C-alpha cells in the first residue's frame, strides 16, 4: 500500500513525546519545508563533503554531527565551498544538525539558495538517529484499515471482527466494564512495523475512544470509565471473529486446530466464535486472551489434553492385553 506524502514540515510538526521526541526546529531554508521525504533512512555525508559523490545517498535525510561540523569549519577556514555547493545540487530532503550545533554562514547561504531546509536538534547524534529511524519506520510502515474493535485484554491486543450488528461493540463494552481497555472502535488503522509487528490504533484521535452502541448511541469511554480504560495503540496478537451460529458448520471443540489470518503479510492467531443467545462472549474472549498468553509461554492446553488422552488410551489398551493373557485364566 502506498505511503501518504510526507514532508519535512510534517516531520517538524509531529507531536512526539518522551522517548520519541525529536526536538527539531528549523534554522534555515524554510522555503524548502515542503520537500518530500521518500526514504525512511539516514545518511552521514562525510564522504560527500570531502568530494566523493559516488553512490551519494542524497534521497535520505542528511545528519551532521560533531565530526561533520568540524570538517565544515575546516573547509570554511580554507575557503573551500565547492564540495558543499555540489552537495546541494542534489535534491536533498533536509539537513539536520545534532548537539545544537550550527553551520557557518557560508553553509547557510548555499542552503538558502538551494532552498534546502536546515534543522537543528539538541539530541546527540546516536540518540537522535535511533529515534528518527524508529519514527520513520512507523510512518513508512505498510498500513490498512479494518472494520472492527481493538481492545487490550490481560495485556493481549485482541482485534474483534465480524459482520455489522453481530455484537462487536457490545462485547468490547462489557470487556471495558470488566477492567480491560479500548484502543479503537469501528475503524482500526493497522501498521506493519519492522516487518512482523502489527500495531493497531484509532483512525481518528478525536473520535477514536468513542463507541456506537445500537439503541444507546455514541458514548465517550474516557468520560464514562476514566483514562485507565483507554490506550492509543496496541500490538495485535489475537483476532476474534464473531459470527452468527450456523448449525451446519463444524466448529472446533478441542482447540487443536490453529487458525490464522494474514494481515499485511503477518500471520496472526485467529478464533471463530459463534454467537447465539446464552453465550457469554466477553468471558470467552477473556479466556481466549489468557490462553494465548499461555501459548506464548509454551503451554498448550488443548495439545496437553490430547496427549493425556492418548496416554490413557495406550495404558488402558496395554492393561487389557495384559489381563487377557492365558496365564491369568
**Both 14 and 110 in a single domain?**
yes
Which residue, 139, 170, 196, sits at the end of a domain? 139
In a domain, 98, yes or no: yes
pLDDT above 90 coverage of the chain, percent = 61
Do residues 256 and 151 share a domain? yes
For residue 257, give the nearest of 275, 243, 270 by alpha carbon. Answer: 270
Q: What is the pLDDT of residue 254?
A: 63
- Predicted local distance difference test score (pLDDT) of residue 303: 66
Residue ending a domain, among 116, 139, 162, is 139
pTM of the model: 0.72
Please report the pLDDT score of residue 2 as a whole number.
Answer: 45
pLDDT, position 127: 95
Tell me, yes or no, whether 112 and 158 share the same domain.
no
List active site positions: 147, 168, 186, 253
Nearest to 19 by CA among 152, 120, 132: 132
Max mean pLDDT among 49-53, 71-75, 93-97, 301-305 falls in 93-97
Residues 135 and 151 in one domain: no
Residues 262 and 274 in one domain: yes
312 is a domain residue = no
Asked if residue 314 is part of any domain, the answer here is no
Residue 317 domain flag: no
312 against 108, higher pLDDT: 108
Note whether 200 and 159 are within 8 A (CB): yes
Domain co-membership, 282 together with 166 = yes
Same domain, 191 and 70: no
Residue 318, pLDDT > 90, answer no
- Residue 266 and residue 124 share a domain: no
Gap between the Cα atoms of 114 and 106, Å rounded: 13
The domain total for the chain is 2
| Per-residue pLDDT at 328 | 47
Same-domain pairing of 51 and 195? no
Give the closest residue to 85 by CA, choosing from 66, 97, 72, 69. Answer: 72
Q: Is residue 37 part of a domain?
A: yes
In the predicted model, what is the mean pLDDT of the chain? 88
Asked if residue 53 is part of any domain, the answer here is yes
Same domain, 71 and 205: no
Task: Return the pLDDT at 324.
Answer: 59
- Which pLDDT belongs to residue 215? 83
Q: Which residue has the higher pLDDT, 214 or 266?
A: 266
- pLDDT score at 6: 93
pLDDT of residue 308: 72
Same domain as 162, residue 31: no
Nearest-angstrom CA–CA distance, 130 and 19:
10
Q: Does 313 have pLDDT greater than 90?
A: no
279, part of any domain: yes
Q: Is the model's pLDDT at 209 over the cut of 70?
A: yes
* Residue 9 confidence (pLDDT) above 90: yes
The three-state DSSP-derived secondary structure of the chain is: CCCCCCEHHHHHHCCCCHHHCCCCEEEECHHHCCCECCCCCEECCHHHHCCCCCCCCCCCEEEECHHHHHHHHHHHHCCCCHHHHHHCCCCCCCEEECCCCCCCHHHHHHHHHHCCCEEECCCCHHHHHHHHHHHHHHHCCCEEEEECEEEEECCEEEEEEECCCCCHHHHHHHHHHCCCEEEECCEEEEEEECCCEEEEEECCCCCCCEEEECCCEEEEHHHHHCHHHECCEEECCEEEEEEECCCCCCCCCCCCCCEEEEECCEEEEEEEEEECCCCCHHHHHHHHHHHHHHHHCCCCHHHHHHHHHHHHHHHHHHHHHHHCCHHHC
pLDDT band of residue 1 (cuts 50, 70, 90) is very low
The CATH number of the domain where 181 resides is what?
3.40.50.300
CA-closest candidate to residue 61, choices 36, 82, 30: 36
**Across residues 46-55, what is the average pLDDT?**
91
Residue that is last in its domain, among 108, 139, 170: 139
Beta-strand pair 61-64/149-153: unpaired
Average confidence (pLDDT) over 129-151: 92
CATH of the domain at 74: 3.40.1390.20
- Indicate if 89 and 205 belong to the same structural domain: no
Mean pLDDT of 143-154: 93
Enclosing domain of residue 158 = 143-298
Query: Is 68 inside a domain boundary?
Result: yes
Amino acid at each position: 500500500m502506498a505511503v501518504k506524502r510526507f514532508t519535512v514540515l510534517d516531520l517538524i510538526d509531529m507531536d512526539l513525546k518522551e522517548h520519541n521526541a525529536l526536538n527539531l526546529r528549523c534554522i534555515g531554508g524554510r522555503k524548502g519545508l515542503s520537500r518530500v521525504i521518500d526514504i525512511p533512512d539516514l545518511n552521514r555525508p562525510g564522504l560527500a563533503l570531502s568530494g566523493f559523490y559516488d553512490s551519494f545517498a542524497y534521497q535520505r535525510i542528511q545528519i551532521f554531527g560533531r565530526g561533520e561540523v568540524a570538517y565544515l569549519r575546516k573547509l570554511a577556514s580554507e575557503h573551500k565551498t565547492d564540495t558543499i555547493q555540489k552537495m546541494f545540487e542534489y535534491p536533498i530532503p533536509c539537513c539536520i544538525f545534532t548537539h545544537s550545533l550550527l553551520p557557518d554562514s557560508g553553509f547557510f547561504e548555499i542552503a538558502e539558495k538551494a532552498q534546502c531546509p536546515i534543522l537543528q536538534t539538541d539530541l546527540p547524534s546516536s540518540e537522535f538517529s535511533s529515534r528518527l529511524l524508529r519514527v520513520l519506520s512507523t510512518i513508512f510502515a505498510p498500513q490498512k484499515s479494518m472494520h472492527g474493535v481493538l481492545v487490550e485484554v490481560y495485556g493481549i491486543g485482541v482485534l474483534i471482527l465480524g459482520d455489522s450488528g453481530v455484537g462487536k461493540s457490545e462485547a468490547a463494552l462489557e470487556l471495558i466494564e470488566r477492567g480491560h481497555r479500548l484502543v479503537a472502535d469501528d475503524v482500526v488503522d493497522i501498521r506493519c512495523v519492522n516487518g512482523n509487528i502489527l500495531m493497531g490504533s484509532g483512525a481518528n484521535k478525536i473520535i477514536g475512544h468513542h463507541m456506537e452502541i445500537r439503541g444507546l448511541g455514541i458514548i465517550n469511554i474516557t468520560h464514562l470509565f476514566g483514562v485507565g480504560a483507554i490506550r492509543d495503540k496496541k500490538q495485535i496478537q489475537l483476532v476474534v471473529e464473531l459470527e452468527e451460529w450456523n448449525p451446519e458448520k463444524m466448529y472446533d471443540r478441542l482447540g487443536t486446530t490453529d487458525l490464522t489470518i494474514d494481515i499485511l503479510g503477518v500471520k496472526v492467531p485467529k478464533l471463530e466464535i459463534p454467537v447465539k443467545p446464552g453465550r457469554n462472549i466477553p468471558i470467552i474472549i477473556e479466556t481466549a486472551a489468557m490462553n494465548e498468553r499461555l501459548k506464548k509461554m509454551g503451554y498448550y492446553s488443548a495439545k496437553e489434553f490430547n496427549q493425556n488422552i492418548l496416554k490413557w488410551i495406550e495404558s488402558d489398551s496395554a492393561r487389557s492385553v495384559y489381563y487377557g493373557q492365558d496365564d491369568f485364566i
